Amino acid sequence: MNLISSRPTKRTEGGEKRKTVLFVCVENAGRSQMAEGFFRKYASRGYFTASAGTRPSGELNPLAVQVMKEVDIDISKQRPKIITEDMIRKATVRVNMGCMDKQSCPTTLFIHKLLEWDIEDPKGKPIDKVREIRDEIEQKVRQLAADLVKSRPKIKL
C-alpha cells in the first residue's frame, strides 16, 4: 500500500517496494512542502516522499511556493494534508521539520524514531528569511538523499 491511499504499494523497475520519506510539520504549508519538493528532485530511484501536518492549513504559504519556483521546483499543485497513523506506520524515514505540537500528533509518530531538523517556520517571515529557510531545507534534504543511497541508511533512525 502507498501512504496516501489503499492502492497497492508502488514498486521500482526491479520489483522491490519503494521506500517512503515522510516530512512532518504543523500546518504542512511551508517547510514540509519545500522538503517534499526537494526530495522529489534529489531522491534516488526507489524512494517516494510525502508530507503532512498535525493541523494543516487551507493553502500553501505563497512565499514558500515563490521561493521554490526560484530554484525551478514547482510545489504549487501540492496541498496541505493531515498526518495519519497509516502514513506514519508506512514511512521508512520520518522527519520532524520543527516545532511539532506533540499534543495534536498521532501517538505513533513518537513511538517511531524521528529525524529532528528543528527548522524555523517560514510563516509570516519576509521573503529573504524564507529563502534562507529554503536553502537550509535543501541542504538537509540533499544530505538525507545522499545518506539513504550510501548506507541505506547511514542516518540514525
Point out the residues that are catalytic. Answer: 25, 99, 105
Distance (Å, whole) CA 140 – CA 38: 10
**Nearest of 112, 119, 73, 68 to residue 94 by alpha carbon:** 112
How many CB atoms within 10 Å of residue 76? 15
CA quadruple 4, 7, 10, 16: dihedral, nearest 10: 120
Cβ–Cβ under 8 Å, residues 37 and 68 = yes
